[in-house]
Chains A and B, each alone.
Chain A
Amino acid sequence: MTATEARGAKRKPAQIVDMSWDPITRIVGNLGIYTKIDFANREVVECHSTSSLFRGYSVFMRGKDPRDAGFITSRICGICGDNHTTCSNYAQQMAYGVKPPMLADTIVNLGEAAEYIFDHTIFQDNLVFVDFCEAMVKSTNPSVLARAERTEARNGAIHGYKTIADIMRAFNPFEGEVYKEALKVSRITREMFCLMEGRHVHPSTLYPGGVGTMPEPTTFTDYLSRLVRVIDFVKKAVAMNDDVFDFFYDALPGYEEVGRRRILLGCWGAWQNPDVCDYRYETMSEWGKAMYVTPGIVVDGKLVTNDLVDINLGIRVLLGSSYYEDWVNEQAFVTHDPLGNAVDMRHPWNQTTVPMPQKRDFSGNYSWVMSPRWYDKKSEEHLALDTGGGPLARLWSTALNGLVDTPYVKATGHSVQISLPKSEQLPEMTLEWKIPQWSNTIERDRARPYFVAYAAAMAFYFLEKAMGFVRAGETKVFENYEVPDEAIGCGFHEAVRGVLSHHLVIKDKKIANYHPYPPTPWNGSPRDMYGTPGPYEDAVMGQPIFEENGPDDFKGVDIMRTVRSFDPCLPCGVHMYLGKNQTLTKLHSPTYGAAHA
């Protein structure tokens, strides 16, 4: 809170008003945001976020055939269900001791690449950008729009828009050019997805042990011919995003403080390298580092670990304010991992979910979500990692690791270089994402189109691999296996919006315990038993307000931009209500409380 105290020197008497938005629109799932805003000093002093939905996957999975897990867990999420199926199959493949044929892993990689391109595009252009569109900026910051009209777009030669305001007009919902084009691109890329995984949202052709996708040459031709059609759009999107976001920094000095939090990023890695990955726990450290997005935990800009075994063992699911019974005195399912390391009672392998619906009580339990944290052995802290909405953590971890080296994507240690081939209108281009100064709203949003480019570039690479296998006659896509009587498994993947893990325990050939941990519980978690708040509240609380409207016609656009920058996907897990934030007492606000009148 040092920043707040420093600003306190010239603080005006607080004028605090309750402001809430419930439900939040333009996200997937149910989320409410409750804030207290100090209009005199133009900042958010308190933020609660809530989701009011409990569905109970980890409850009704128990006792089921473990091979059903990928089909069922897909239904957790209506926009990235396939990420769950993929992650579940990774966990099952470990449990069953089966390595799918290399072509099968490559087909999954192609499907997941299409998913990233589709999902980031529809979320950014059709949902996030409405907060940056002409109609919105006109109603929240007319002076910024006036400036946008006068500001030439630096990358106009690439995307074709003369001024920043022209780009903002193209973002207008249902009518702007980019909005409409993005919907069409989201369909082409979903067709690419369906070619690999059968159906979009809940795939039909993914199985533990491989895929059922027919590896005909035509399958890949149909994918390739669609991919080349969207490359112009991808290149333009990066250029347009850079222009708009750079403009916001220029037009609103201090905008970097919006949604800023300590750099605490987690990435669990994406796209297996089938040359290295055998899905065994014993070799997970090696094959994790061979993934085409490198796993890593980044704290204050430094890479703490990139080892999936460390990442796995550090996961803790904490309670503190949730509608559940504690399980810490139950019997453990897994006391040690296959390498002999001790497994904590609060690790997902040992979690038991007993829901207890009750009245929302801010002084007691008020949340359906639990609080996943990563325990850092060195600092002995339970870190409230966020995913930066997905792309920010993926690019950051990959860049720092410097391990990815393909003809299309290279990590340099401080940046990621992405090469996209010639397209209909634009020449071959190499884009470079450089590690930014902040983990904030703008950088979370800016990373998204860069990751779309990353995924499109990797799709070319995976296509070349897949067609290579097919031309060589290596067309096997499924490997058979027996479900063991007893086994454990874990899968690590990147859902579109960030870290995803599935933990599985099998007894008597049935699921004894199953816990998916998607990105949103990490990002949207409530205060844990140690009093640490989750990333949404942390990012919103204390952020400055730049909107020109007063309390009477306040839209809350700066707050909504922060919340949406995390790409909230509430069905993925979340059942939460965050309570009063205790740091409020540190604020020196003499009229606090009285101002409600």
Chain B
Amino acid sequence: MSGTTKVSQHPDRADQRSGFDEIHVLWISEGMSCDGDTISMTAAGQPAIEDIVLGLVPGLPKVNLHNKVLSPAMGGEDFLAPFRAAARGELEPFILVIEGSIPNQKIIQGDGYWTSFGNDPDTGKPLTLNWWIDHLAPRAWAVVAVGTCATYGGIHAMAGNPTGSMGLADYLGWDFRSQGALPIVNIPGCPIQPENFMETLTWLLYHAAGSAPPPPLDHMLRPQWLFGKTVHEGCDRAAYYEQADFAKDYNSPKCQVKVGCWGPVVNCNVPKRGWMSGVGGCPNVGGICIGCTMPGFPDAFMPFMDEPTGATFSAALIRPYGAVIRRLRGITNMAVNREPKWRHAKAELTSGYDAHWRP
């Protein structure tokens, strides 16, 4: 008895499906992680995880979720059973979700370990995350890296780290293909924007059901429709940039590139989508973009609160254009803030009305 609870009703519209009727999601958050992607996932209402688990989305396979934080199991072997079965080849098909960066076991001399997930039943010694990836990834129908740590290394892989951490594709190889002939599906973000993850998972499940092609990914294995635009392209403060009107500190509602925002060069949809249900975000609500979805995160963006290199140059270029545009718009804005002169209370109609007007 592990993983999710009884989902009694038969999956909807099963007759129209050419793919799987049922699939397991084996989620391991024992990478170098804070479990923040699991928690973030529970914030999604579009769709919500319970919508998927309870089978409310028509056309998807029945989903058995095995995630440590949400598992009704007590823990230990009860919880590990499906993972062990999958490693033996006795449980399929499954989607392997890895959360957290992959530490380098090879740099440890002797029997130490950086992170583990359960024990080896024969020896009682901890089983490392690396062991689980080695045994599960080759059998997985699909492999998903959730969050920037798992996709590219993230915080734990920053300069000066003692663990040699890396992303999943660095570990498995960028040309890795799963049993379902899919590359690793990377969903970056520190943490993931909740709906970005649930939407991608849902697409994968449609694909598992045989009713959709695989999700389109870019060269860094990200879903194209989510990461194809920059923060700046979706930011409601970008108009200030166009007018060369920059915030000098964090009190200002204007464009934040001078105070640390990397939005113009970062692939992410958060300002457009909001953080959850359209609420919150980053530069759109006053938080500088620190590039948390990017392969270069965090080192390329530090110190976070200083103006990005390059912004000085581009901001200087936009300055003359922006100054003129801002002034012209100011003039027009004043003009359109005036009411036409025919709106008055005098005993006389001056609107130009002509009852017999013909063109």
Contacts and interface: CB of A to CB of B under 8 A. Distances in A.
Given A53-B114, A75-B34, A323-B112, A198 B281 contact: yes
A358 B111 CA distance: 6
A557 B75 CA distance: 11
Contact of B286 (A126, A175, A214): A214
Contacts of A204: 280-282, 285-288, 290
Nearest to A31: B75
A187 B35 contact: no
A155 B275 CA distance: 37
Contact of B35 (A79, A183, A478): A79
A193 B277 CA distance: 13
A211 interface: yes
B158 interface: yes
Contact of A54 (B73, B154, B163, B298): B163
A22 B190 contact: no
A357 B112 contact: yes
Nearest to A50: B126
A33 B79 CA distance: 14
Most chain A CB within 10 A, of B114, B277, B292, is at: B114
B150 interface: no
Interface string A206-217: 110111111000
A21 B75 contact: yes
Nearest to A475: B251
B312 to A, nearest CB: 18
Contacts of A210: 250-251
Interface string A184-199: 1011001101110111
Contact of A77 (B36, B110, B114, B256): B36
Interface stretch (B39-47, B202-210, B214-222): B39-47
A78 B287 contact: no
A29 interface: yes
Given A20-B76, A211-B286, A54 B115 contact: yes
B81 interface: no
B253 A214 contact: yes
A357 B114 contact: yes
A53 B163 CA distance: 11
A211 B251 CA distance: 8
Most chain B CB within 10 A, of A78, A126, A175, A475, is at: A78
B235 to A, nearest CB: 12
Interface stretch (A61-69, A308-316, A533-541): A61-69
A79 B73 contact: no
Given A205-B286, A212-B288, A571-B35, A25 B69 contact: yes
B226 to A, nearest CB: 16
A200 B280 contact: yes
A360 interface: yes
A113 to B, nearest CB: 16
A52 interface: yes
B148 to A, nearest CB: 10
A126 to B, nearest CB: 7
A378 interface: no
**Which bracket fits the contact residues of B?**
35 or more
A25 B79 contact: yes
Nearest to A64: B302
Contacts of B303: 64-65, 67-68
Interface string B68-108: 11111111100110000000000000000000000000001
Contact of A79 (B36, B68, B163): B36
For the residues of B in contact with A, the DSSP-based class is loop
B350 interface: no
Nearest to A126: B70
Interface in A197-250: 197-207, 209-214, 222
B42 A122 contact: yes
B290 to A, nearest CB: 6
B71 A25 contact: yes
A360 B126 contact: yes
Given A27-B69, A59-B161, A480-B249, A213 B285 contact: yes
Most chain B CB within 10 A, of A33, A126, A183, A202, is at: A202
A287 B45 CA distance: 40
A24 interface: yes
A285 interface: no
B275 A199 contact: yes
Contacts of B115: 30, 52-54
A524 B54 CA distance: 35
A469 to B, nearest CB: 13
Interface in B120-145: 125-126
A56 B161 contact: yes
A582 B252 CA distance: 60
A478 B249 contact: yes
A571 B33 contact: yes
Contacts of A54: 114-115, 163
B163 A127 contact: no
A202 B112 contact: no
Contacts of B126: 52, 360
Interface string A15-47: 000001111111111101100000000000000
Interface in B143-175: 154-156, 158-163
A-B pairs, 7 with minimum CB distance: A204-B287, A78-B36, A194-B280, A357-B112, A212-B286, A78-B34, A65-B303
